[in-house]
Amino acid sequence: MKNLNNLNEKPILVSFLVSGDPNIEATLKYMKALDEYCGVIELGIPFSDPVADGSTIQEANVRSLSNGFKINQSFDLLKEFRKDSDTPVVLMTYYNLVYNRGIEDFVIDAKKAGANGLIIVDLPLDEAEEYQKICKKHEFGTIFLVAPNTPDERIIYSDESSTMFLYLISTFGITGTRDSFEKMTFDFIKRAKSLCSDNSKLYVGFGISNEKHAENLISQGADGIIVGSAFVNIIKEYGDSEDTIIKLKELAKELHGGIEKGYAKYIKSD
């Protein structure tokens, strides 16, 4: 059984889906489909102005919101998922939605629903003191993001403030699939590993879409990869169908294979 205590015995795949894309019932099916290959599922709560996301995930937000998505549906979705799985789930959203509900109420509701942690992509760490206190009070995971241009001292601070894992943004810009990764990304992974606690978990996201990406990033020492747009593109193309489930599983299996290859290389080189 997967849980937070064995989150990273080996590098893992974190899959990202947008709640309600194309509908809540389909999202639940897709979470279950990906569960076999994922160490963590990241569930996005749609927002009208997702500034950190590229066009693929922006469109997924629009599809969900156009169908009348409400925040409570993400919590209800998670409760249903919890009937069959204990795979850790982190919610991803923007601060406006958390602030409007009330930070503590949001954290309490999320935890009751079965979430293990929260990513608020537009909440600066310097302004997150209250949020961190509330999460600590309720034993709820925090995840902060760092990028290749983040100074060393900021990476250390972000690592100390992230109780679940540290999110390494692979490159500059917004989410979306890319053909390859530059040396900058690999150097960033190594720099972060040298700065963060030995017990920290460093997961790399943005732009990852295939087995080779997974292999290359894990071989540099990443503890996991976060994949979103590649899965969301499948959902966009095949909609609410059995074909989507098949394609999601195929990609998750491919990425998992890349992780295994990358980890073998990393162990051999260590």
The token pair at 8 is 């990273």
260 among known catalytic residues:
no
| Of 53, 211, 215, 223, catalytic | 53
| Of 21, 35, 36, 42, catalytic | 42
DSSP 171-228: SSS-S---S---HHHHHHHHHHHHHS-TT--EEEESS--SHHHHHHHHHTT-SEEEE-
Q: How many CB atoms lie within 10 A of CB 189?
A: 22
Q: Which residues pair with 199 in a beta bridge?
A: none
| Cβ atoms of residues 53 and 92 within 8 Å | no
d(CA 179, CA 54): 15
The token pair at 180 is 């390859």
152 among known catalytic residues:
no
Catalytic machinery residues: 42, 53
